Structures are given as C-alpha cells and as structure tokens.
Amino acid sequence: MNIQKLLSLQRPTFCIVQICGIKNFKPPENFDHIEIPERPRLRYVDKVPTLPATVKPPKMQKRLRYMRGYEDIHNTLQLKQFGIIAEGGGRLKFGHFEVIRMTIGRKMDNTRMFALWRIDPPWQPVTKRGQGMRLGGGKGPIDHYVTPIKAGRVIVEMGGKCTFEEVEPFLSDIAMKMPFKAKAVSQEMLEEMEANEKWIEENNQNPYTMKYIIQNNIGGCHKWLSPVDFKYFGKHR
C-alpha cells in the first residue's frame, strides 16, 4: 500500500491545552472594630404599658396621622449594617413583636451577632366593643395596645461579625409577616436607594410633577384632593 494512502487513513490527533486563569478573590471583611454587647438578643416587650397604680389607663382616638407620611427621624441605620425598614404605614401588635423576637433569636448566632429594637413597645390603646352590644354609652373598653409605624421607619436593626448574605434570609422572612410592606436592607442598599431617588429628581425632564400640579391647581384638582395630598403631594398615603 502506498505510504500517502496509509497517512490519509490515520485518525487526526488533537492536542488539548488547559489554560488556567489567575483568580483574585477579595480578602475577607475585617470585623475587629465591632464589639458584641453582653445581651445580644432582643429584649422582651410588655404587652400592656406599665402605669402607676393610681392612674387609670387613658383611651385615645385613632389618630391616623401617626401612620401617614414619611418618618423623618428614625429612618437611618445607627450601626450602619443591616435592618428592616417599613415601606408603608401601619400598626404593630404585641404578636408582631414576638414574631420578630423569636425568629431572630432562633436564627442568629449569639456569639457574633446582635439585634436592637428601633421602635417603642405597644403604647397606643385600641378600644373595641363586644359582639352584639348596643350602640351608645360612650367609648368602649381598651382591647389591646399597638405601635404606629410610618413609611421609612427602621423597625429592628442587626449587627455583628457577619455579612448581609447571612442575615438576609430570616430578615426577609420577618418582613413578609409584617402587617404592612417592609424590606430587609443593608447600609449599602439604603445609600443606593437614596442616590437613585436623588438622580431621578435631578434628571426628570417632565416639568409637570405631582407637586407642580397640586400647587398650581392644574385641571381644578383642588376640588377632589384631600388635605393629605396637599401635605405629601401624592406620596406616602
């Protein structure tokens, strides 16, 4: 057989070359500046506010203004780490406090994590009449106590020698169980949200914003707007 024919019948050989790239991993975060307090768990809150023995528990109106609008003071993270913020107004009962306390107490590592309350215990009384009672006779008895929450309020804050990926699953689980919209956030997320909102406001090319429309009574909108719209210009209802 011809040599050229033999060479043509041979299978071609392939040379496999492995290329290894250099991987540069980020160094682990340094948590040496963080101190863990003696009591890392959330403290128990009272179901009923403590009053002197000679003081009769006062009753109160609904006062929906305590839930409307945006929180102007407690809207930042003091520890600059992680927390849960409210995205809408509402009321927290004693059961919601227990859900937050028990869930964080079970899921977090007490040796390197800690949590803090950023809201007051239930203090606003809510009255309720019994089933089938006749109307009249004044305001009903106090049924339970609540804590009113505004949009942007930090409910609970977490810190310690940990990352957001470790605490985000159970913080998001708690946020889903709140009676209003809430969200688990980190300090970086809050800064990014603030920067995006500022950029949208500065680069808006439409002059007819909700604030401009309300202030100039365009389309006679003052006839059907509520006093809340004049105060917040369509936001945080």
pTM of the entire predicted model: 0.82
Provide the domain limits for residue 115. 29-128+139-204
Secondary structure string (H, E, C) spanning the chain: CCHHHHHHHCCCCCCCCCCCCCCCCCCCCCCCCCCCCCCCCCCCCCCCCCCCCCCCCCCCCCCHHHCCCECCCCCCCCCCCEEEEECCCEEECHHHHHHHHHHHHHHCCCCCEEEEECCCCCCEEEECCCCCCCCCCCCCCEEEEEEEECECCEEEEEEECCCHHHHHHHHHHHHHCCCCCEEEEEHHHHHHHHHHHHHHHHCCCCCCCHHHHHHCCHHHHHHCCCHHHHHHCCCCC
Given a cut of 70, whether residue 12 has pLDDT beyond it is no
Per cent of the chain over pLDDT 90 is 68
Any domain includes 200: yes
Is the sign of the CA dihedral 186, 80, 190, 153 positive or negative?
A: positive
Q: What is the CA radius of gyration of the chain?
A: 29
Q: Which residue has the higher pLDDT, 18 or 215?
A: 215
Given a cut of 60, whether residue 123 has pLDDT beyond it is yes
What pLDDT does residue 81 have?
Answer: 93
Q: Average pLDDT of 15-21?
A: 62
Task: Tally the C-alpha atoms within 13 A of residue 154's C-alpha that lie toward its C-beta.
Answer: 23
In whole angstroms, give the CA distance from residue 100 to residue 117: 10
Q: Which residue has the higher pLDDT, 128 or 15?
A: 128
What pLDDT does residue 1 have?
Answer: 53
Is the sign of the CA dihedral 119, 114, 152, 172 positive or negative?
A: negative
180: domain CATH number is: 3.90.1170.10
In whole angstroms, give the CA distance from residue 185 to residue 212: 32
Any domain includes 83: yes
Any domain includes 106: yes
What pLDDT does residue 17 have?
Answer: 59
Q: How many domains does the chain have?
A: 1
Any domain includes 59: yes
Any domain includes 233: no
Q: What is the mean pLDDT of the chain?
A: 89
In DSSP terms, which residues pair with 92 in a beta bridge? Answer: 147
Is the sign of the CA dihedral 43, 45, 49, 50 positive or negative?
A: negative
Any domain includes 146: yes
Kindly report each contact of residues 172-175 with a partner whose C-beta sits within 8 Å and lies 24 or more positions away, as own/partner: 173/103, 174/84, 174/99, 174/100, 174/103, 174/104, 175/84
Any domain includes 98: yes
